[in-house]
Chains A and B, each alone.
Chain A
Amino acid sequence: MERSKKFLIFLSLFSVSLLADTKLSILKTKQSLDNLRYISADGNITYYQRASGTLLLSTNYKVFEVSKSSKKTQYYVTATEAKKYVVIERNPTYHTFYDQRGINDILISGYGSERSKLVGKGTDPQLHLNDQWYSFYQPYTKKLYLNNSSQESISFNVTLASTQNPYFIPSRVMPDNNTVVFTDYNQKGFPGILVFSFSSKKIKVLKKYQSPNTQIKLCKINDQLIIAKTSFDSLEKGTTISSISFKNFSVENEKILYQSKENDIINLVCTQKDSLVYFFKTFRNEVGKLTYEAASLNVKDKKVAVLGDLKFANQIINMDGNIFIPYLSNYYVLKGKSDFTDYDQLSKEGQE
C-alpha cells in the first residue's frame, strides 16, 4: 500500500480517536469536499474547481464553466444569503508562489450564472448591502476598493495608513450606499475604526484604541455595527463585543454586549436573521490549559451559547446560512444541513 494511503488511514484513525466525543455532525457531499468552493443551503447550486484550472458551476443537473485558467489554479467563492452575485478570487500560482498578500484575480459573476468578469486584482473579496456592493483589498498599495455590483462606473477606493503590519487586511462593513466603516492602524501601530464617506471622500475616526496589541473585527447585524475587541498579548487579556446603532452612530452610544477575561478568537460570523454573532470563546482550566469552543452571542438578549466541543478549532464560516467549522480536514456543522449527498447529482461528464 502506498505510504500516503497508509498515512491517510493513520490520520483518520488519529482524528477519530481525538474527536470521538463530538456531538457535531460532519458535512457530507457527493463529490470530494476539497474541490468544492460553495454549496447553497438547498444544494441546488454548487461551485467546484478542477485540477485543470477551471471553476465549474453545477446546477439543475448541468455543469457550466465559470472560469478557466492554468493548471492547479486555486479558487475561492464568496456569496451571501442575498444570492445576487458571487465574487471569486482566482490564484493561478497558488502552489508555486506563497504570498499571504496575494495579488489575485477578482471576478464577479451573477449568482448561478456561468458568466464571470475580471474586475480587479487583490484579495479578500466581500459582498455588502445585499450584494449591491463588493469590496476587495490590495495589501501592497494598501488600497481598499469598493465597487457597485451592477454599475461598474460607481467605485471608490480608500488608502489605508497602516505601515507596521504588511499583512494587515481591514475588517469592513457598509451601513449604507454612501459609507464604509473599516479598521486600520496608524503609523505607530495603534488600531482604530474609521468611517469613509463616498460623497465627501473624507475619512473620520470613529474610535481609537490605546494599545498596538488590540485586535478589532467588525460585522453588521441589521442597523447595528458589531465591534469585537480582543488582544494579541497575554499580558493584556480581555474580550468585549459591543454594538453601535447606525442611527446614532457615535462612540458615546456604544453598548457592551459581551465581556470575557480571556483573549477569545474573534473570527466573526454575523447572521442577520437570528441576530447572532458567532466567535470562538477561550476556556482555561484549573492548571491553565487553554481550549477554544465555538459560541454564539445573541445581540438582542445578550445570551451566549457554547455550541462546539472540538477544543481546538478556531475558524468558522457561513455558507448560505449553514454555519461550518473547518477542522482537521472535515467540516463540522454548527447549524444547518450536514448531508448533501442527495443533491448535486452530476452527470458523469461533469465529474472528475
Chain B
Amino acid sequence: MRNIFFVTLLLISRVTYSKQVPGLIKTLQTIVNDHRGDYAKYIQKLRTGFNPSQIPADWSKQDIEIDSLFLQSISLHSDEKYLKLVNLNDCSFAALIENDLLKTTLGYPQDIPIILKKENRTILIPKEEFTKGIYQNKCFNYLQISKLFESLNLKNSLKAINYRTPKSQTECDNILKDWYSNPYLPYLCEIPEKISRGQRARLYLNQNPGVSIAQRRLMNARIRDGEFFEKNSDFFQQNYFRNLCNSVTDKKIFCSPYLADDVWSKVLNGEKPKYVLENLCRNFFGNQSLSKKQLQRCVKKFKDEPHLCTTRGQDGYPSLFPRPNCNALSVALNNGRLKTKYTDCPGRINNSALTNTHRVLNHLFDNIFESTPNSCHSEANYNISKLSIESKTEEIWPLKVCYKDLVDKKKQCELYIPGDYKAVDYNEEMVVRNILFKLNKVKDYKTCKLVSKRKYKPVKLEYKNGCFIVYDDQSCSNSFCERKIFVDKDEIKEISYEGIVSFDYFPTNYINSKSSIQKLIETFYKKKFQAIKNITELEVYLKNQKEGIIQGVGCSEDIYPRFFSRKTLNQCTPLPFIIDGAITKNENKLLVFRSSLDSVHYPRLVPWNFVFTGLSNMKEQHPLKSWLLYGTK
C-alpha cells in the first residue's frame, strides 16, 4: 500500500506534466482547479451505468491498484497530518478512509475507484466493502480494531486506553514515538475531527439558513456525528486526541501543554477540571457557559496581565481584597484539590463558620450550584439548614419568621433561609408570602419579592402593587439585615424575624459536643475527621488521601498579618479555613489556603509557620484548649 502511494505521487507529477499547459510550471491553484474538473467528470463517468453486481466477489484477492486520479485528489485535498499518517503502516490508508480522514475534491469518499489489473477495468467499491476487503485479506488485526471503535464499544474502548502525559521533553518524544506506531491512531483522530466538523456544520447552518436540502442533510449528518462523539468521550480525551493528532505535523502541539507549569494550560488540555478556569473567567464574559475560544482568551489575559486576578473577576461576590495575582493563583490552584463547582460570597455572610461548612460539604458531596450574586449566600444557608433539618438539630438553624396567629392569637414561627433560593420552599420570599396569606394580607400574589432599598421606588408602576421585602443592601448581611415588608405600598408590621445562626463549629464543651458541626458531619454524614498536629502529618495526609481536605480554625491576626493586626493582649479573631494542598518553594513550606473570608476560587499560599502560630494562639482561647486542625474525607 505504501509503495502504491509513493508510486502514485510520481504518477501524479507525470500526469500533471504530460498535459498541455501554458509554460513548464503552473500554479498549485491551477492544478487544483484543473484536477477538480477532471476528477468530477471521471467519477461521473465511472458511476454512469455502474451496478454493484459488477464487483467481483474476490476483488480483494486479485491484483489491484487504486486509481491514480483518486490518489491525486486525496493528496491535493486531505489534511497534511492525515497524509503523513498513511505512512503509519501498510493498512493505515484503509483505516484513514474508513474514518473519513482522507478527502477528495468531491468530499469524503464513499466509494473508492479500484483498477482490476487482470481485467484492465476500473470499478467503484463502496467504502465499507473496500475497508472490509482490505482488512480480511491483508490486515486482519484491523478487523478487531475496527470493532473496538464501533458505536456500542467506543466508550469502553476509550476508557481502556493508557493516556500517558509527559513530564519532560524526552518522555514526550517517547510517548509520541509509541503513538505513531499505534494502529488505533486513525480511529482516535476521528473523534476530535468529527466533533470539530459538527461544530462547523452547526455554525454553517446558522449562518446560511437557505441552503439546499441535500446540503442541509449533509450538515445535519455531521452535526449528529459530532454530538455522538462528544457524548461518548470526555473533555480530557477529546483534548488529548486533538493534541496528539495535530502533533503529527508539530510535536510541540502535543508536548507543550503538558510541559507548561501553569494551571491555565492544564485546564485547557484537560488535566485539571474545567470549572477551575470557568469560575474565574465567567465574570469577564458574563456567560454561565464559556466556549473553548473564550477560555483561551481568558488564559492569555491571565498570562499577559497577572494583576488582573487581583481586582477583577468576582464582581457581586464580595470577599477579602486584594486577591492573589494570577501567577500566585496558578501555583495555588495547581496544587489544590478543593471541588468548587459553585461560587460563594463570604462578604455577605456574617458567620464565617457557615461559609466554611458550606465549602466542606460541597467538597465532600461534590455539590453543584448555578451560583449568581443573588443566590450565592442563600446556597450556603440552604446547605447548613439542610444539615440542621436532616439531623434534627434545630439549634444550628434557628432562623424564623414569626407572627401572631389570627385564630388562637398565639405566636407562631416558620423556619426560613434568607434570600430567594428557589430550590426549597422555605426560602424567605415563599415563607413571608405564606405567612401574609395566613394573615389575610395577600390574596393573589404567588410570592413576595426581595428588593434592595435603592431599587424600591413605590411611585414606579412595578412597585405599586405586589408584595416586597425591602432591605438595605449597603449594610445587610446574612444575620443582620433590617427588612421592611410592603404589600401594595402598605408596610406590614405584624411580622418579625428572629434568630441568629450561631453554633459550635468544633465542640466547645463536652455536654453539647454532639451538636457541633464537626460532630454532626461525623455522625450524620459518616465522614471521618483525623487530627493533624504538625506539618509532617499534614503533608502525609494530603499525599495519602487524594480526595481529603484539611479544615481548622486559627487566629486571623497570625495567619493573615498583612490584613489583620493584633493590638491587645490575647486578641484572637477565630478564622475558619480549608487547606487543600502543600508545596515547598525556596525552602518555604507553603499551604494552599482558603480562609472563609477569601473567595473560594482564589486560594492563597500561606506559610505553614503562620498557620501553626494561629492554631497555637487559638488553642489558648478555646474553652477546651483544643487544637483545631482536622483532615476530613
Residues of A within 8 A of B (CB): 4, 7-8, 10-11, 14-15, 33-34, 36-39, 51, 72, 74, 76-78, 93-103, 124, 126, 140-142, 164-169, 188-189, 212-213, 215, 217, 230, 232-235, 263, 265, 267, 280, 285, 287-290, 311-317, 319, 324, 326-329, 331
Contacts and interface: CB of A to CB of B under 8 A. Distances in A.
13 contacts: A11-B627, A34-B620, A78-B567, A98-B353, A98-B505, A99-B350, A100-B564, A164-B322, A167-B597, A212-B321, A215-B562, A232-B322, A267-B565
B321 A98 contact: no
B485 to A, nearest CB: 21
A168 B324 CA distance: 16
A101 B504 CA distance: 18
Interface in B619-633: 619-627
Given A76-B571, A167-B597, A326 B480 contact: no
B350 A101 contact: yes
Contacts of A94: 574, 621
A326 B568 contact: no
Contacts of A72: 508, 623
Contacts of A235: 306-307, 325, 327
State the 5 A-B residue pairs at the shortest beta-carbon distance, nearest first: A288-B586, A166-B347, A312-B609, A165-B321, A314-B561
Interface in B560-585: 561-571, 573-576, 585
Contacts of A51: 623
A314 B607 CA distance: 12
Given A265-B561, A326-B617, 8 more contacts: A4-B624, A7-B627, A15-B616, A33-B620, A94-B574, A94-B621, A212-B321, A328-B616
B620 A37 contact: no
Contacts of B504: 95-96
Interface stretch (B121-129, B183-191, B550-558): B550-558
A263, A324, A326, A328: most-surrounded residue (chain B CB, <10 A): A326
B375 interface: no
B627 A166 contact: no
Given A72-B623, A290-B607, A97 B350 contact: yes
Nearest to A285: B587
A288 B574 contact: no
Contacts of B624: 4
Nearest to B626: A4
Given A95-B508, A312-B613, A328-B616, A103 B480 contact: yes
B244 to A, nearest CB: 36
Nearest to B627: A7
Contact of B621 (A34, A311, A317): A34
A63 to B, nearest CB: 18
B568 A78 contact: yes
A99 B351 contact: yes
A234 B469 CA distance: 45
B311 A212 contact: yes
Interface in B263-295: none
Interface string B183-206: 000000000000000000000000
- In terms of DSSP, what is the predominant structure of the interface of chain B? loop
Nearest to B565: A267
Contacts of A316: 566
Given A96-B503, A99-B350, A8 B625 contact: yes
Given A314-B561, A315-B561, A289 B623 contact: no
A315 B566 contact: yes
B582 to A, nearest CB: 16
Interface string B127-168: 000000000000000000000000000000000000000000
A220 to B, nearest CB: 15
Interface of B: 306-307, 310-311, 318-322, 324-325, 327-328, 346-347, 350-353, 475-477, 479-480, 500-505, 508, 533-534, 553, 556-558, 561-571, 573-576, 585-588, 596-597, 607, 609-610, 612-613, 616-617, 619-627
B382 to A, nearest CB: 19
B500 A97 contact: yes
A18 B399 CA distance: 47
A327 B557 CA distance: 11
Contacts of A142: 475
Contact of B533 (A10, A288, A312): A10
B352 A98 contact: yes
A181 B498 CA distance: 39
Contact of B310 (A101, A169, A213, A311): A213
Contacts of A217: 565
Contacts of A189: 311, 321-322
B553 A37 contact: no
Contact of B508 (A96, A101, A232, A315): A96
Nearest to B481: A140
Contacts of A315: 557-558, 561, 565-566
Contact of B322 (A213, A319, A324): A213
A165, A311, A324: most-surrounded residue (chain B CB, <10 A): A165
A37 B569 contact: yes
Contact of A167 (B353, B479, B563, B585): B563
A88 to B, nearest CB: 10
Contacts of B480: 103, 140
A70 to B, nearest CB: 12
B587 A287 contact: yes
A142 B347 CA distance: 13
A352 B533 CA distance: 29
B502 A93 contact: yes
Contacts of A267: 561, 565-566
B568 A38 contact: yes
A76, A126, A230: most-surrounded residue (chain B CB, <10 A): A76
Nearest to A264: B562
Nearest to B604: A232
A96 B321 contact: no
B351 A289 contact: no
Given A101-B350, A165-B320, A265-B561, A4 B625 contact: yes
B568 A100 contact: no
Given A166-B347, A315-B565, A100 B570 contact: no
B343 to A, nearest CB: 16
A339 B501 CA distance: 43
Given A51-B623, A319-B569, A100 B351 contact: no
Contacts of B607: 290, 312
A166 B619 CA distance: 27
A326 B562 contact: no
A289 B534 contact: no
Contact of A100 (B352, B502, B588, B622): B352
A76 B557 CA distance: 14
Contacts of B324: 233
Nearest to B508: A95
Contact of A288 (B558, B567, B570, B588): B588
A53 to B, nearest CB: 12
Contacts of A324: 569
A314 B503 CA distance: 30
A81 to B, nearest CB: 14
A36 B569 contact: yes
Contacts of A38: 568-569
A277 to B, nearest CB: 14
B516 to A, nearest CB: 10
A102 B557 CA distance: 14
A142 to B, nearest CB: 8
Contacts of A311: 609
B306, B500, B570, B622: most-surrounded residue (chain A CB, <10 A): B570
Contacts of B476: 140
A329 B620 contact: yes
A167 B502 contact: no
Contacts of B566: 267, 315-317, 326
B331 to A, nearest CB: 11
B613 A97 contact: no
B574 A317 contact: no
Contacts of B508: 72, 95-96
